[in-house]
Amino acid sequence: AQSVTQPDIHITVSEGASLELRCNYSYGATPYLFWYVQSPGQGLQLLLKYFSGDTLVQGIKGFEAEFKRSQSSFNLRKPSVHWSDAAEYFCAVGDYKLSFGAGTTVTVRA
Amino acid sequence: DSGVTQTPKHLITATGQRVTLRCSPRSGDLSVYWYQQSLDQGLQFLIQYYNGEERAKGNILERFSAQQFPDLHSELNLSSLELGDSALYFCASSASFGQGYGYTFGSGTRLTVV
């Protein structure tokens, strides 16, 4: 069975500070991993995805994620957050059928 | 605009009623997926169609059904509605039936059952 755990329900970060969101997954084979962002009242936008190859993946909006097979993790990072990064972030695993984590809400303080 | 169109954006209906949610996939995409997002269950995969045929089923209740039409738009039918069916329903589309082809979400239909 496939599943995702996002340990942090809510993170508050200062504008300009770095951000790291944690994601641990369970999957029977080589995982397809994703990070999505959802702003209030909006749909989910794909930030980045990992299928194979380089374990450090670059995405949109300055985000990157690192796949660590030994730790079953796919953590999302951004070196310097902007106020517009305040949103809910979802990690997901799967192929045609995605399993999502419960999400991490990011609040950015001035 | 993601290219995936969902209508209506908001729907308020009474318990016991039946509603239909509509999704037009991104141009050229053959696969359509339906997801339910609720506070207690999070994001749950419901069902997938590929080129008119059902390909995969997730946590979809028997009261719910879906179909994909020849023009590739899809409809999700929810019947005998209960208060617990209140949720955000998302449609997503992809060129084929695997993630390697990308997966684009619509902005969702917010269903409120009163």
pLDDT computed for residue A97 by the predictor: 84
pLDDT in tens, B9-54: 999 999 999 999 999 999 989 999 999 999 888 999 999 999 999 9
What integer is the mean pLDDT of B67-71? Answer: 96
Interface test with A, best of B6, B21, B50, B103 (most A CBs within 10 A): B103
Say yes or no: B36 contacts chain A, CB-CB below 8 A.
no
pLDDT computed for residue B95 by the predictor: 83
Interface test with A, best of B99, B105, B110 (most A CBs within 10 A): B99
Rounded to 5°, angle at Cα A13 from A8 and A17? 125
DSSP state, residue B40? T
Of the listed ranges A80-84, B64-68, B86-90, B99-103, the one predicted with least confidence:
B99-103
Cβ-proximal residues to B102 (8 Å cutoff; 6+ apart), any chain? A46, B94, B95
Residue of chain B with shortest Cα separation from A31: B99
Cβ contact A83:A17 at 8 Å: no
Cβ-proximal residues to B1 (8 Å cutoff; 6+ apart), any chain? none
Query: How confident is the prediction for chain A on average, in pLDDT?
Result: 93
Radius of gyration of chain A (CA): 13
The alpha carbon torsion through B42, B7, B23, A46 (nearest 10 deg) reads: -50
Low-confidence ranges of chain A (pLDDT < 50): none
- Contact residues on chain A for B97, CB-CB shorter than 8 A: 96
What integer is the mean pLDDT of B79-108? Answer: 87
Closest to A95 in 3D by CA, of B15, B56, B107: B56
For residue B101, pLDDT over 60 is answered with no
What integer is the mean pLDDT of B65-82? Answer: 97
pLDDT computed for residue B1 by the predictor: 77
Say yes or no: B10 contacts chain A, CB-CB below 8 A.
no
d(CA A82, CA A80) in angstroms, rounded, equals 7
Q: Give the number of other Cβ atoms within 10 Å of residue A88's Cβ.
A: 17
- Position B113 confidence tier, pLDDT thresholds 50, 70, 90: very high
- Contact residues on chain B for A101, CB-CB shorter than 8 A: 42
pLDDT computed for residue B97 by the predictor: 67
